A = this chain, B = another copy of it.
Amino acid sequence: MPKRAQEVARPVGICSMMKLPVQDSPQGLDAAFLGIPLDIGTSNRPGARFGPRHIRGESVMVRAYNGGTGASPFESLMVADIGDVNVNVFDLKDSCDRIRAYFKKVVSTGCVPLTMGGDHTITYPILQAMAEKYGPMGLVHVDAHADTADTMLGSKIGHGTPFRRAVEEGLLDCKRVAQIGLRGSTYDPEGYAWSREQGFRVVTAQECWLRSLVPLMEEVKQQMGDGPMYISFDIDGIDPAFAPGTGTPEIAGLYPSQALEIIRGCRGMKVVGCDLVEVAPQYDTTGNTALTAANLLFEMLCVLPNVKYA
C-alpha cells in the first residue's frame, strides 16, 4: 500500500513508483512496476531514457484508490517497484537481449509487468518474452504511429518497427490487435494498409475527435475475447498539448479523458502485461506528461484481473 500523503509529505522520500517498496526481484508479486531507461531506438527527439525516473518523481500525486472507478488495487494485489533493467545505452541489439532475458524471469513468476519506457523499441523484446509464455497475444496499442515499418535507416530494430517484428515472429494474435489514435502525415498515400492487411483493427485519431470512446471499447472487448492480451500505450497517442514530453509528437491526438476510457475499457480482459512508453522529460516542461503517464500506469494496474472494485 503506498504511503498516504496525509501521513508522509509528498516531497518526502526516495522516489519509487507511488513510493511503493523497492525490491530486486518480482518474487512474491502479483504485479510489478519497472523501468527500461532506453532511448537509442528513437528517430527524432531523444530523452525517454529518463522517462522512468521522471514518472516515478511525478507519481507522488497518485493515491491508492481509483476515485473514478472504485478500484482498490493495493487491497487486491501484491505490488512493488522492482527498479530498472540495466540496458546498454550504446547498443540497441544488446539492450533488446537484456530486456528479453529480464522479462523471461519476470513472467516466469506469474508477475504482471507494468513497464515504464523508454522508447517503443522495448515492446519488441517484451513481447518476445511474453509470447514465449502465453503464446500469441492480443494487443491494445494506443499510439500516434502504427510502428510497423520494416526498416528505419536500414535498421530492423527501432521504435518504428516493433509490431512488424512481432507479427513476423508470430508474437501477436493479429485478429486480436487494435491500434487506436493513429494519425499524422505518412510515408505512403495509405499509411495503415499493412496493419489492416494483418487483420488489425485500426482506429484513427480522426475517428475519435470529440467523442467518448466507451462504445469503441465495448467492441474492442469483444475483439479481445478471453485470450491473454497486452496493453502498449505510447504517450504520443495523446495530444501533445496534454503530453508534450515525447519524441515524435503529432498534433490533434487523443484527450486524457479518452485515454482513461480506453484503459478502463480494458477491465475484464485478460491483461498479462502493460507498458507506457516514450515519455521524454526534456520536453515535459511542466511535468504533465509524466503525471499523465503515472496516472495511466495506475489505471492499468486497476484493470488487472482480480482487482476488487467498491
Interface residues of A (CB under 8 A from B): 4-16, 22, 35, 37, 39-47, 49-50, 52-53, 56-57, 60-68, 70, 72, 81, 83-92, 94, 149, 151-155, 157-158, 160, 182-192, 204-206, 209-212, 239-242, 244-245, 248-252, 255-257, 259-260, 282-288, 291-292, 295, 298, 310
Contacts and interface: CB of A to CB of B under 8 A. Distances in A.
How many copies of this chain does the complex contain? 6
Nearest to A190: B310
B92 A62 contact: no
Given A11-B49, A47-B47, 4 more contacts: A12-B85, A14-B84, A42-B89, A67-B184
A225 to B, nearest CB: 28
A86 B251 contact: no
Contacts of A53: 11, 15, 57
A284 B240 CA distance: 12
A57 B290 CA distance: 16
Secondary structure dominating the interface of A: loop
Contact of A282 (B35, B47, B209, B211): B47
Contacts of A241: 239, 241-242, 256, 288
A63 B152 CA distance: 14
Contact of A43 (B9, B255, B282): B9
